[in-house]
Homo-oligomer: A and B are copies of this chain.
Amino acid sequence: MDPARLAEVLSPALAWLDYAGVFVFAASGALLAAKKQQTLVTFLFFAVITGVGGGTTRDLLIGAPVFWIGQNAMLLVCIGAASLVWMLPRRLLEGRLLDWLDAGGLAAYASFGAAKGLAFGVAPIPAIGMGVLTACLGGIIRDVLAGEPSILMRPELYVTAAALSAALTVGLVLAGLPVAAAGAIAFAAGFGLRALAIIRGWSLPGYDR
C-alpha cells in the first residue's frame, strides 16, 4: 500500500494510541526518576526519552520524519506526565497500576510501530522488529540511563508480548485484514499475554546447557 495512503488510514484509527502510548511510557520514565529521588528536570528528561525514544528510533530507521519534531503536542504530553508524577504522593505511585498502563502501552505501540513500518515499505520481518523496538526501546534506554538492569535481562514475558502484537499485526495485514482490525486483534493478544505474565508471573526459561 502507498505510504501516504496507509498513513492516512492509520491517522484517525490509531492516532490516539500514539498519544496514549507516549503518555504511559513518559509516566513510567518519570516514575523511575521518582524512585531514585531525582529532580524535576530529571523527571522531564526521563519522561521525554522514555516516551518518545522507541518511536524516534523507528522513524529514523524507516526514513520517516521523526513524529514529535514538527509539533508541540507530543512533548507537552511528556511534560504533563512528568508533572503529574512529580505532584503525586509516593504511595499512589506504588503497586501495579503502572504495570497495567505499561502493558497497554506496550501492546498498542508494538501494533502501531509494525503497522507504520509496513506503511513505509519495510519488509515483513524488519516491520515486526519496528514494532518491538517502538514498544521496548524507550524503556530500555531509561533503564540504562538510570543504571538499572533493563527489562531485557529479566525473564518475565515482556519483549515477547510486544513481539506477539507486532507479528500478528504484520501477519494479519499481509493476510488482507484492514489495518484497524489487525491492530485491534494484535493489541488484544499482546495485552492478554502480558496480563498473564503480570498476574501469574509467567516467564520464559533461561539458557541452561
Residues of A whose CB lies within 8 Å of any CB of B are 33-34, 36-43, 45-46, 48, 56, 60-63, 65-66, 68-72, 75-76, 86, 88-90, 121-126, 129, 132, 140, 144-147, 149-150, 152-153, 155, 159-160, 163, 203-209
Contact = CB atoms under 8 A, between A and B. Distances in A.
A207 B145 contact: no
B152 A45 contact: yes
Contacts of A48: 129
Contact of A33 (B63, B76, B121, B207): B207
Contacts of A86: 207
24 contacts: A33-B207, A34-B207, A34-B209, A37-B207, A38-B153, A40-B204, A41-B163, A43-B207, A45-B132, A56-B61, A61-B66, A61-B69, A62-B66, A63-B65, A63-B66, A68-B126, A70-B123, A70-B126, A75-B126, A75-B129, A76-B125, A140-B145, A146-B153, A147-B153
A70 B121 contact: yes
A85 to B, nearest CB: 8
Nearest to A46: B152
A41 B147 CA distance: 22
Contact of A122 (B43, B70, B207): B70
A138 to B, nearest CB: 14
A46 B152 CA distance: 9
Contacts of A159: 41-42, 45
Nearest to A39: B204
Q: Which 9 A-B pairs have the closest CB atoms?
A: A39-B204, A37-B206, A72-B125, A75-B125, A34-B207, A89-B209, A41-B159, A72-B123, A41-B160
Given A144-B145, A159-B42, A208 B126 contact: no
Most chain B C-beta atoms within 10 Å of own C-beta, residue among A34, A46, A145: A145
A152 B145 contact: yes
Given A38-B206, A41-B160, 15 more contacts: A37-B208, A39-B204, A40-B204, A42-B152, A43-B207, A45-B132, A45-B159, A70-B121, A70-B122, A71-B123, A71-B126, A75-B126, A75-B129, A145-B152, A147-B149
